[in-house]
């Protein structure tokens, strides 16, 4: 059985609805090609940039370059893009998502067409590139670097959050004003590129759909507190596509409603991911190993199920004050509230919002152990991980383990090392249960 | 009075395969052969040697635990347990005061914190990097034409350890060649390598927070120069079993015995 798993990169899913995500992914790239053929504007974009609904309201077709990097890794077709970027001078320690994107753009430019056999038909030349400072710095610089290969305009939006020690009452107005200005700047850029004004009513409608989808996603995650767990992390890393790349559309709402119904049914009928759930694992952080997602099934072969995760997760629902009547103001408020969700808890205890979030997850989901994935080329999710693990250890005595590789660069992965570590981790979980 | 019972541990490592047989009282026999070539054949031979030494046939064994990177390829049916757990069990029996284990093997260095009962409390493995493993020493020993078992004593003669400007085994290899060309003594080069490795090991130990007593096992434990360097880097005494390469197999045999009882 183990050999069969190793022949592929992807994981066996726990839910039927998650298996439908592959079609959603294919549709992202097909839609971008169709949009280009129809004269509609297509934009390279970044996840979690808080501008998703604006793109939908302005009929700009999103083309998520990070997702494309993950897709290439899942298809084990990343080396030609990584090596091209490195041949162009980009360091191997630079974000491997960015290296795949830059390598793809470079190859496409050299060839004069999309590289032969690119996963899902490859990415067409966009009409614009929308960078973002949310999460990490390469997301801000990547598209500036891509301008070397693409003669299309680039716009970078700053997405900000106050440090946890700040008094939120003192800084709230400033941060929201700044975020509002950033979003308005982006809207002005998009209006210039598309030649049409943004319709506030359409933006409200996209926000309504976006919030509805994310609420359903949150509700699904709350169902996962059930024992046995009805939906594992490998499903999360698929179903996030609807929330992050279809936000502001009816497609995302319908998808999550269907998934909710399936997960609810499983909870009601006590149908778990595996028949005999022995250990409940928290994916504590780090981008997922897109090149080797079957590793989640490998854990399951020992009775260990990943029941919740702290990456690419939907934001917890937040309540924007009712006096906010402008949709752009709403987005700025929502971003602020999302990013400061755990600040007060952090100030009261650990000083670290992520530690607080993990501690909540450990309690709510009845976690037995925590696994982190340190990605060699992702500074944002890896630097500080050891410290966070150590901080978490002050409040929890659960077994924790840090696996090391990269989100897409297979050269940083060692199957023998991972299996040796996982074996010892499982034994630590079992010893704890004795 | 019933017949005595015997239990075996088989450690299929990347550099050598080890077998240990224990009875209710302790060690009965052991064997160790370099892993090269056919792992299954070597494992069979190691086990046969240990059984011959003990005057036993295979069917006299009441339990077998297999460990090590090559455990899946063992020619025997037995329970598989991670080498970290086996080291924890073996070291806690050899040194009841042990709370931290450093295992420097051919592929990886592993550091484990263990409970007084000999169970794993936390652990870390070195990165996918040869500098963190015994392979680094093998490479340098080959360049210097020094047999592996002479590395330790020779390095202890060092008066001026060479400082390596890199933490990468590949670059260290070329740096070693440069130092030889500059006239550096082999003892000083080896002491420099030990310091570089000890610094990496110390970093791993500090991430887990150093808890004495510290035991050094694996091939690295047989290198007295490395043991000294690790002790200096951690500023603590290092305990080394009499046969540091056998401690995981010993722990495996003891786990087989505990499992049976």
Burial label, A318 (beta-carbon count in 10 A; 0-12, 13-18, 19+): middle
Q: What pLDDT sits at residue A6?
A: 44
Residue A362 pLDDT > 90: yes
Q: For residues A220 and A264, is the Cβ–Cβ distance under 8 A?
A: no
Contact A386 B207 (CB under 8 A): yes
Give me the pLDDT at residue A408, please.
Answer: 93
Q: Which two tokens stand for residue B55?
A: 């005057």
Residues of B in contact with A398 (CB under 8 A): none
Are B18 and B11 contacting, i.e. CB atoms less than 8 angstroms apart? yes
Q: Is the pLDDT confidence value at B155 over 60? A: yes
Q: Which residues pair with B100 in a beta bridge?
A: B113, B214
Mean pLDDT value of segment A374-395: 91
Instruction: Answer whether A416 touches B (CB < 8 Å).
Output: yes
Tell which residue, A433, A349, A347, has the closest CA to residue A398: A433
* Contact predicate B139/B173, CB 8 Å: yes
Q: What pLDDT does A85 receive?
A: 96
- All residues of chain A having their beta carbon less than 8 Å from the beta carbon of residue B81 are 423, 427
- What pLDDT, in 10s, does the model give residues B47-88? 999 999 999 999 999 999 999 988 988 999 989 999 999 999
Q: Are A134 and A161 in contact (CB under 8 A)?
A: no
A242-246 mean pLDDT: 96
- The one-character DSSP state at B161 is P
Given the DSSP bridges, would you call strands B109-114 and B100-104 parallel, antiparallel or unpaired?
antiparallel
Per-residue pLDDT reduced to its tens digit, A208-232? 999 999 999 999 999 999 999 999 9
List CB contacts of A37: < 8 A, sequence separation 6 or more.
none
Task: Tell me if B123 and A428 make a contact (CB, 8 A cut-off).
Answer: yes
Question: Nearest Cβ partner of B120 from A390, A413, A427?
Answer: A427
- Distance (Å) from the C-alpha of residue A118 to the closest C-alpha of chain B? 30
How many CB pairs below 8 A link A and B?
50
Check if the beta carbon of residue B200 is closer than 8 Å to that of residue B136: no
Contact A423 B80 (CB under 8 A): yes
- All residues of chain A having their beta carbon less than 8 Å from the beta carbon of residue B83 are 420, 424
The pLDDT score that the predictor gives to residue B35 is 87
Contacts of A155 (CB under 8 A, 6+ apart): A128, A129, A130, A131, A185, A186, A189
- What pLDDT shows up at residue A3? 35
Chain centroid to CA B171: how far? 25
pLDDT of residue A2: 36
Q: Report the chain B residue with the minimal C-alpha distance to residue A399.
A: B122
Count Cβ neighbours within 10 Å for each residue of A328-348 and write b for 16 or more, e otherwise.
Answer: bbbbbbbbbbbbbebbebbbe
- Residue spans of alpha helices (H) in A195-246: 200-223, 233-245
**Looking at A261-270, A271-280, B20-29, B122-131, which range is the least confident one?**
B122-131
CA distances from A149 to A29, A109, A142, A189 (A): 20, 6, 12, 21
Lowest mean pLDDT among A194-203, A341-350, A411-420: A411-420
B122–A431 C-beta distance less than 8 A: no
- Which CATH number does B96-240 carry? 3.30.420.40
Neighbours of B114 (CB within 10 A): 24
Contact status of A301 with chain B (Cβ, < 8 Å): no
How remote is the C-alpha of B30 from its chain's centroid? 15
Question: In Å, what is the CA distance from B241 to each residue of A427, B18, B33, B125?
Answer: 24, 15, 19, 21
What is the average pLDDT value for chain B, to the nearest integer?
A: 91
Interface mutation vs chain B, best among A387, A415, A417, most B CBs within 10 Å: A417
Kindly indicate the confidence band of residue B129, based on its pLDDT and cuts at 50, 70 and 90. low
Tell me if chain B has a CB within 8 Å of the CB of A391.
no
ipTM over 0.90: no
The answer to whether residue A317 scores a pLDDT higher than 80 is: yes
Give residue A148's Cα distance to chain centre: 27
Chain B interface with A: residues with Cβ < 8 Å: 69, 80-85, 107-108, 112, 119-125, 127-128, 207
Question: What are the boundaries of each domain within chain A?
Answer: 2-433
Q: Mean pLDDT across the stretch B90-100?
A: 97
Q: Are B47 and B76 in contact (CB under 8 A)?
A: yes
Domain extent listing, chain B: 6-89+246-260, 96-240
Rounded to the nearest 5 degrees, what angle is found at the Cα of B247, between the Cα atoms of B242 and B252?
150
Instruction: Return contacts of B115-121, CB within 8 angstroms, 24+ apart.
Output: B116/B92, B117/B92, B118/B88, B118/B89, B118/B91, B118/B92, B118/B93, B119/A428, B119/A431, B119/B85, B119/B88, B120/A399, B120/A424, B120/A427, B120/A428, B120/A431, B120/B84, B120/B85, B120/B88, B121/A428
Average pLDDT estimate for B91-95 = 96
Q: Are the beta carbons of B83 and A420 separated by less than 8 Å?
A: yes
Give strand pairing partners of A64.
A45
Q: Find the residue in B nearest to A400 (Cα).
A: B122
Q: If you average pLDDT over residues B220-236, what whole number do you get?
A: 95
Considering the entire predicted model, what is its pTM? 0.85
What pLDDT, on a 0 to 100 scale, did the predictor assign at position B133? Answer: 75
pLDDT value of residue A295: 96
What does the pLDDT read at residue A244? 95
Compare CB distances from A420 to B69, B122, B207 and report the shortest one's residue.
B69
Reply yes or no on whether the pLDDT at A7 is more than 70. no
Among A390, A400, A431, select the one facing B119 at the smallest CB separation.
Answer: A431
Report pLDDT digits (tens) over B197-212.
898 899 889 888 899 9
Cβ of B80 and A400 within 8 Å? no
Fold of the CATH domain B6-89+246-260: Nucleotidyltransferase; domain 5 (3.30.420)
User: Cβ–Cβ of A420/B122 closer than 8 Å?
Assistant: no
Q: List Cα–Cα distances, A13 to A74, A143, A273, in angstroms.
A: 14, 34, 9
> Identical fold at B6-89+246-260 and B96-240?
yes
Interface test with B, best of A93, A423, A429, A434 (most B CBs within 10 A): A423
Beta strands per DSSP E along A31-82: 42-45, 61-64
Q: For residue A133, what pLDDT is reported?
A: 92
User: Token pair for residue B234?
Assistant: 């951690």
Q: What is the DSSP letter of B181?
A: H
Average pLDDT (B150-162) is 93
Q: What is the pLDDT of residue A4?
A: 38
pLDDT, one tens digit per residue, over A34-72 is 999 999 999 999 999 999 999 999 999 999 999 999 999
Whether the per-residue pLDDT at A375 is higher than 70: the answer is yes
User: What's the rounded Cα separation, in Å, for the pair A124 and A35?
Assistant: 10
Task: Tell me the mean pLDDT in the region A92-102.
Answer: 95
* pLDDT at residue B233 greater than cutoff 90: yes
- Give dist(CA B56, CA B52) in Å, integer: 6
Side-chain-side CA neighbours of residue B74 (13 Å): 24
Contacts of B107 in chain A (CB under 8 A): 416-417
pLDDT over 70 (residue A434): no
CA dist., res. B89 & res. A377, Å (int): 36
């Amino acid at each position: 059985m183990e050999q069969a798993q190793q022949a592929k990169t992807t994981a066996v899913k726990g839910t039927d609805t998650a298996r439908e995500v592959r079609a959603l992914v294919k549709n992202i790239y097909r839609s971008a090609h169709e949009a280009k053929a129809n004269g509609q504007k297509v934009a390279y974009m970044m996840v979690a940039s808080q501008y998703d609904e604006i793109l939908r309201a302005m009929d700009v077709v999103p083309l998520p370059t990070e997702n494309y990097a993950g897709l290439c890794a899942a298809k084990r077709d990343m080396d030609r893009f990584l090596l091209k970027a490195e041949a162009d001078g980009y360091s191997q320690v630079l974000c491997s998502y960015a290296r795949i994107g830059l390598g793809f753009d470079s190859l496409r430019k050299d060839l004069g067409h999309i590289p032969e056999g690119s996963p899902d038909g490859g990415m067409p030349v966009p009409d614009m590139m929308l960078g973002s400072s949310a999460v990490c710095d390469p997301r801000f610089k990547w598209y500036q670097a891509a301008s070397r290969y693409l003669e299309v305009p680039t716009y970078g939006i700053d997405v900000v959050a106050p440090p946890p020690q700040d008094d939120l009452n003192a800084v709230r107005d400033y941060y929201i004003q700044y975020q509002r200005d950033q979003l308005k700047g982006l809207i002005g850029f998009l209006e210039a590129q598309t030649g049409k004004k943004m319709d506030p009513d359409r933006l409200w409608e996209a926000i309504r759909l976006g919030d509805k989808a994310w609420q359903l996603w949150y509700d699904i995650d709350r169902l996962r507190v059930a024992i046995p767990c009805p939906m594992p992390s490998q499903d999360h890393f698929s179903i996030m596509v609807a929330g992050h790349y279809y936000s502001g559309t009816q497609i995302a709402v319908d998808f999550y409603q269907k998934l909710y119904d399936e997960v609810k049914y499983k909870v009601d009928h006590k149908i778990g991911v595996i028949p005999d759930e022995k250990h409940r694992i928290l994916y504590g952080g780090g981008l997922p190993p897109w090149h080797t997602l079957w590793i989640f099934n490998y854990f399951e072969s020992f009775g260990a199920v990943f029941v919740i995760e702290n990456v690419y997760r939907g934001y917890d629902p937040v309540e924007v004050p009712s006096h906010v009547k402008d949709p752009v103001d709403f987005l700025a408020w929502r971003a602020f509230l999302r990013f400061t969700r755990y600040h007060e808890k952090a100030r009261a205890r650990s000083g670290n919002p992520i530690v607080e979030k993990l501690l909540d997850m450990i309690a709510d989901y009845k976690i037995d152990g925590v696994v982190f994935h340190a990605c060699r080329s992702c500074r944002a999710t890896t630097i500080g991980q050891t410290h966070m693990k150590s901080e978490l250890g002050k409040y929890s005595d659960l077994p924790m383990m840090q696996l090391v590789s990269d989100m897409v660069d297979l050269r940083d992965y060692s199957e023998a090392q991972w299996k040796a570590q996982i074996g010892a981790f499982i034994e630590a979980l079992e010893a704890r249960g004795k | 009075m019933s017949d005595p019972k015997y239990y075996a541990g088989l450690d299929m490592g990347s550099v050598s395969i080890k077998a240990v047989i224990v009875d209710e009282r302790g060690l009965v026999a052991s064997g160790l052969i370099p892993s090269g070539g056919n792992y299954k054949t070597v494992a069979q031979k190691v086990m046969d040697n240990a059984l011959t030494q003990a005057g036993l046939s295979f069917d006299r064994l009441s339990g077998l635990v297999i460990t090590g990177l090559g455990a899946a390829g063992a020619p025997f049916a037995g329970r598989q347990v991670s080498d970290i757990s086996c080291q924890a069990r073996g070291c806690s029996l050899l040194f009841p005061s042990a709370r931290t284990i450093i295992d420097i093997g051919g592929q990886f260095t592993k550091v484990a914190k263990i409970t007084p009962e000999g169970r794993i409390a936390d652990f870390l493995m070195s990165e996918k990097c040869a500098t963190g493993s015994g392979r680094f020493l093998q490479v340098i020993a080959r360049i210097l034409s020094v047999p592996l078992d002479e590395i330790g004593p020779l390095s202890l003669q060092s008066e001026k350890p060479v400082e390596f400007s890199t933490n990468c085994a590949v670059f260290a290899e070329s740096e070693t060649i440069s130092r030889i060309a500059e006239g550096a003594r082999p003892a000083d080069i080896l002491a420099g390598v030990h310091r570089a490795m000890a610094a990496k090991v110390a970093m791993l130990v500090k991430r887990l927070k150093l808890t004495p007593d510290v035991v050094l096992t694996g091939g690295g434990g047989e290198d007295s120069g490395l043991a000294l360097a690790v002790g200096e880097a951690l500023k603590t005494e290092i305990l080394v079993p009499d046969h540091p390469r056998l401690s995981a197999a010993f722990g495996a045999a003891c786990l087989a015995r505990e499992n049976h009882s």
